[in-house]
Amino acid sequence: MKYCALLRPHANSRYQAETLKLARAELYALLEKGGCAAEVAVESRAGVDWLAFEAPRLDERQARLIGAAAHLYVLFEEENGALRPTTGQNPAYLGDDLPLVLKYKGKTNETFTSFMLNLALCASDYDETDGPLAVLDPMCGRGTTAFAALNRGWNALGFDVDAGAVDEAVKYFKRYLEYHRVKHAYVQKSMTAGGKQAAMLNVFEFAPTPEQFRAKDTRSLTMAALSAAGLGRIYRKPCCHLVVADLPYGVQHGPGGGKKSLSLEDMLYDALPVWVDAMRTGGAMALSFNVNTLRPEMVRGMMAEAGLDVAEGAGYDGLAHWVEQAITRDVAVAVKRF
């Protein structure tokens, strides 16, 4: 059976050309995760670039994996020259607009965020059938990665050194749940370390229907103002399956809310072992970064030094792509084997 994937359009034509490379890598990773070894080719139809592959008819699990592709618009089956739609985007757990509404300077594109979630999932030993996964973004900003993870039906933890950004994300999510009349509970928890308050956790528990909420079939979002390496002060055991973060493109990050300034390289050196400790065995980490600020070989080398197995292959190689002037972004993915 031949399949043809029509991709989501992007307003920036130059970035659209770059997303074709990312979409092809993502499809390779998703097919491999589904146990389908197929060659993904680029084809042009009616002046539009498509991705095409040949494989046995997709089963339910494989179709769901493909339906999670961030760049996918519709997947078609081709038979006798005719295209028949077979798979679209999987439905969102809460709402497609959740990661879209909150706008701010420097926001990571929500499609790219979903792309990173997929690469981390595909590299990991986990599957969506393992139950709700937990995703950690230790540099979450205003929560785009966390919100994208929630829409997968997963749990999310988001921490950032910028207390103002975290506060804005928490207020936005509260308004979102209230506006959409989503049954939820919200509490603040003070976490201490060494007899001192280490963080104030904002914890949401929610479900898309009242029946699910009453049955305790819920998901959670936890957010707090915390430095990149501060996670180890409040979590002594692994708390997540996946770590996904879009590293700053040149902003200084340091402990204590910026009292001590660290270069991005120093920050990553201090934080990576903490993030690795936060992951369960078999979990995976996906980090995106500006190659003009952090060298790709250095980032992957630091991940390996922290005890991770750096992912390689068609789904994980050659992901560097133009974003805007002075920003060429790359993605490194690695797995915690032990």
* Average pLDDT of span 152-180: 97
Half-sphere exposure of 113 (CA within 13 A, CB side): 26
Encode burial over 65-104: b for 16+ CB neighbours within 10 A, e otherwise.
bbbbbbbbebbbbeeeeebeebbebbebbbbeebbeebee
Q: Is 133 helix (H, G, I), strand (E, B) or coil?
A: coil
Residues contacting residue 124 through CB under 8 Å, at least 6 positions apart: 241, 242, 282, 283, 284, 335
DSSP state of 253: B
Q: State CA 263 to chain mean position distance.
A: 24
* Residue 259 reports pLDDT greater than 50: no
* Average pLDDT of span 120-142: 95
Record the tokens describing residue 92, joined without a space. 């969102």
Residue-level pLDDT at 254:
42
In angstroms, the CA 70 to CA 152 distance is 11
Residues contacting residue 201 through CB under 8 Å, at least 6 positions apart: 188, 189, 190, 191, 222, 223, 224, 234
Residue-level pLDDT at 126:
98
In angstroms, the CA 199 to CA 331 distance is 29
Q: Is 44 helix (H, G, I), strand (E, B) or coil?
A: strand
* Residue 36 reports pLDDT greater than 90: yes
* Average pLDDT of span 79-89: 93
Dihedral sign (CA 318, 107, 154, 199): positive
Above pLDDT 90, what percent of the chain? 82
Residue-level pLDDT at 262:
66
Instruction: Provide the whole-model pTM.
Output: 0.94
* Residue 226 reports pLDDT greater than 80: yes
Higher pLDDT among residues 242 and 105, named by residue: 242
pLDDT band at 191 (very low <50, low <70, confident <90, very high): confident
* Residue 205 reports pLDDT greater than 70: yes
Given a contact cutoff of 8 angstroms between Cβ atoms, the answer to whether 69 and 5 are in contact is yes
* Average pLDDT of span 96-122: 94
Question: Which of 57-61, 166-170, 190-194, 290-294 has the least mean pLDDT?
Answer: 190-194
Residue-level pLDDT at 184:
98
Residue-averaged pLDDT of the chain: 93
In angstroms, the CA 33 to CA 218 distance is 26
Residue-level pLDDT at 249:
87
Q: Is 328 helix (H, G, I), strand (E, B) or coil?
A: strand
Question: Could you tell me the domains of the chain?
Answer: 2-88 (3.30.70), 110-335 (3.40.50.150)
> Residue 219 — left, alpha, or beta (φ > 0 → left; ψ -120 to 50 → alpha)?
beta
Higher pLDDT among residues 21 and 10, named by residue: 21
CA-closest candidate to residue 34, choices 52, 51, 59, 54: 59
In angstroms, the CA 150 to CA 157 distance is 10
